[in-house]
Amino acid sequence: MEIIHTIDALQEALLAQQKAFPNRSRQLVPTMGALHEGHRELLKHAVAEGPTVATIFVNPLQFGPNEDFDRYPRDLTQDQKVCEEEGVSILFAPHPEEMALSNQQFVLQPNNLIDYMCGPHRPGHFEGVCHVVMRLFQLIQPDEAWFGQKDFQQYRVLEAMVDEFAMPIHMHCVETVREADGLALSSRNRYLNAQERERAVTLFNALEQIKEAVEAKEPAEIIQKKRKQLETQLSDAGFRLEYLDVFNVSTLAPSKTFPDGQPFVVAGAGWVGQTRLIDNLLINV
């Protein structure tokens, strides 16, 4: 595996990759590092499909002024080991100046897909994600790109970007990897102390209960009541909830009715201590 920090070296490595595997499709797994089993799952899927480029870049544009950019975990040596073990062929960990973020002339502004869920709680976040992913897509020109379902809104926004700008990239969303008790794996879980770790799983439990109620076709007003009760239970347990609701998978707008044959996603986000956690479950009615 090659570890590359500059665009010039990246272009050379991509050319060599193209020569070595002329008929195979190039795979991309963009990450911010601190790789865990969820990332391994993305890498496994990608490597099974073709020569894979993984990227590691802690993108300052997608962190708000009071967010955890400075303390976000960084461990290139360990991440390198994970990528090697999973069969990645190129690891691109750009020097910050290679990402040209200091004199940004353009903003990629997502529209209605960020009206709900994390959008209102993280102003500028999705613009920052789009900016960096667009640059990575342009530099690497992947045939396929892999993202985790835990960041479902991010996946939908990027999928819409690829669609709207007619980028020839096949987008994949891979199911969330969880701990035995259901907690979604996240690089931020390492911030949690023992007591917070116990609290963290209450979000998954709440999502499961709402999903079950929707799938059992309980009346809409009962589902709303259950949702409100769960909100109260979560906040009583010390989880500072930002949102907990069921959203239409294509518009990402909240939905109070669940017609047959339409997919929905029940999603939530909030804070345990100083750690922001998100999670979601897909619902097929």
User: Greatest CA separation found in the chain?
Assistant: 60
Q: CB-wise, 173 or 210, nearer to ligand PAF? A: 173
Is 20 buried (19+), middle (13-18) or exposed (0-12) by CB count in 10 A?
exposed
Piece of 13-21, 25-33, 73-81, 94-102 that binds ligand PAF (CB under 6 A): 25-33
| 118 in Cβ contact with 125 (< 8 Å) | yes
Strand partners, 172: 146
Q: CB-wise, 118 or 283, nearer to ligand PAF? A: 118
Minimum distance, C-beta of residue 203 to ligand PAF, in the bound complex (Å): 18
| 1 in Cβ contact with 88 (< 8 Å) | yes
Q: CB-wise, 188 or 227, nearer to ligand PAF? A: 188
Piece of 30-38, 87-95, 216-224, 238-246 that binds ligand PAF (CB under 6 A): 30-38
Piece of 29-37, 78-86, 103-111, 275-283 that binds ligand PAF (CB under 6 A): 29-37
270 binds ligand PAF (CB under 6 A): no
- Single out the residue of 133, 161, 265, 272 in contact with ligand PAF (rule: CB under 6 A): 133
Looking at residues 60 to 89 of the shown chain, list those that interact with ligand PAF (rule: CB under 6 A): 62
Q: For residue 48, what are its two tokens?
A: 């099974």
30 binds ligand PAF (CB under 6 A): yes
Please give the single-letter amino acid code of residue 157: V
Q: End-to-end CA distance of the chain, in Å?
A: 44
Give the catalytic positions in this structure.
Answer: 39
Looking at residues 32 to 61 of the shown chain, list those that interact with ligand PAF (rule: CB under 6 A): 32, 59
**Where in the chain does DSSP place strands (E)?**
2-4, 27-31, 52-56, 90-92, 144-148, 170-174, 240-248, 263-272, 275-284
Is 109 buried (19+), middle (13-18) or exposed (0-12) by CB count in 10 A?
exposed
Looking at residues 150 to 209 of the shown chain, list those that interact with ligand PAF (rule: CB under 6 A): 151, 154
Question: Rule CB under 6 A: which residues touch ligand PAF?
Answer: 30-32, 59, 62, 129, 132-133, 151, 154
